[in-house]
Structure 1
Amino acid sequence: MRNISDVIEAYLKQVIQSSQSDVVELKRSEIADRFECVPSQINYVINTRFTLEKGYLVESKRGGGGYIRIIRLQPESNEELIQEMQLASNQPLTQQAAFDLVERLKDEDLITDREKRLMEKMMHRDILDIPLPHRDFIRAKMFKELLTTIKMHG
């Protein structure tokens, strides 16, 4: 059985997909009421499943009339997407951020499922058995090199 976070994520993605725009505005309280959960559950889903690495920009206004604006980032080309990702990898990359970027490469059909699994395996903390913060710097450097390879041979 899927957990509530998965259900909320699927719902929000469906709302974005069915909208005529890459921008949707939602009321946190209305979503919480719909799924009979606390608003903090909605915050959790948005903060973990709608990240920049996954291709979303989120704006939030708190308070009585508060809303959440989710913007789906659609690069003009594969080259533009790779450039955005190269910029993101100029800073240390956590395992989760790296996995999110790899997932986005797969979603955009820039890599195969097999390549996705290989990339995730080599960037996993069990393989990069180096103390932080060095591990995140090395992961970013590795990811950047992978992007260069994809760009050259893609």
Structure 2
Amino acid sequence: MARISDTIENFIKELLNEERERQVLIQRNELADKFSCAPSQINYVLTTRFTHEKGYIIESRRGGGGCIVIRKITYDDKAERLNVINNSIGESITYGNALSILDHLKDTKSITNKEYEIIKISLNDRTLASVEDKNKLRADMLKGILAVVLS
């Protein structure tokens, strides 16, 4: 049986796939009622499954009952896309955050499963064990690898 977080995530992704504008407006309390869960569960799903690294923008709107806008990030060209990804990576990145970016790229079929696995293994803590600042090196490596793979 799927966890409630997975069910909520899949529901929101289905809504996004049905929308031409690649955005949906949801009311947190209504969604919590639909899934018989606490509104904090909706917040958890939004903050962990719909992050910028995973290709989403979350915007909260106040007033009129309030709502949350979830937008799927789209890119006009490869250079813009790489720039957005590099900004997400920053000067330093943890292995977990690097995986979030890679998961998004794999989900959008920007990289193959094989590329995903190769990049993942090259960035893990065991591979970078002898390095003093793993997160900085990981960021530099990920930017370089993606510049080649996504070009």
Whether TM exceeds 0.5 here: the answer is: yes
Pairwise mapping of residues 8-23 of structure 1 onto structure 2 (< 5 A)? Answer: 8-23=8-23
Q: Tell me whether 136-145 or 64-73 shows the greater mean CA deviation.
A: 64-73
Aligned to 1:142: 141
Q: Where do residues 1-150 of structure 1 align in structure 2 (5 Å cutoff)? A: 1-61=1-61, 65-129=65-129, 134-150=133-149
Q: 2:142, 2:64 → 1: CA distance?
A: 42
CA–CA separation in structure 1 for the residues paired with 2:19 and 2:89: 31
Unaligned 5+ segments in structure 2 are none
1:88 Cα deviation after fit? 2.2
Once residues 63 and 32 of structure 1 are traced to their aligned partners in structure 2, the CA distance between those partners, rounded to angstroms, is 19
Query: 1:12 Cα deviation (Å)?
Result: 0.3
> Structure 2: how far apart are the matches of 1:10 and 1:128?
34
Select between 35-44 and 101-110 the one with higher mean Cα deviation. 101-110
Overall identity of the aligned pairs, in %:
35
TM-score of the two chains, using structure 2 as the length reference: 0.88
Could you tell me how far apart the structure 1 residues matched to 2:49 and 2:126 are? 23
Distance (Å, rounded) in 2 between the aligned partners of 1:116 and 1:96: 14
Distance 1:126 1:43, change over 3 A: farther
- How far apart are the structure 1 equivalents of 2:22 and 2:60? 16
Greater displacement, 3-12 / 79-88: 79-88
Amino acid at match of 1:28: R
For residues 82 and 26 of structure 2, the distance between their equivalents in structure 1, rounded to whole angstroms, comes to: 30
Unaligned runs of 5+ in 1: none
Aligned residues: 151
Q: Which amino acid aligns with 2:54?
A: K
TM-score (normalizing by structure 1): 0.86
2-structure distance, mates of 1:43, 1:130: 38
Q: Return closer, same or farther for 1:20/1:135 CA change in 2, 3 Å cut-off.
A: same
| Separation of aligned partners in 1, 2:92 and 2:38 | 33
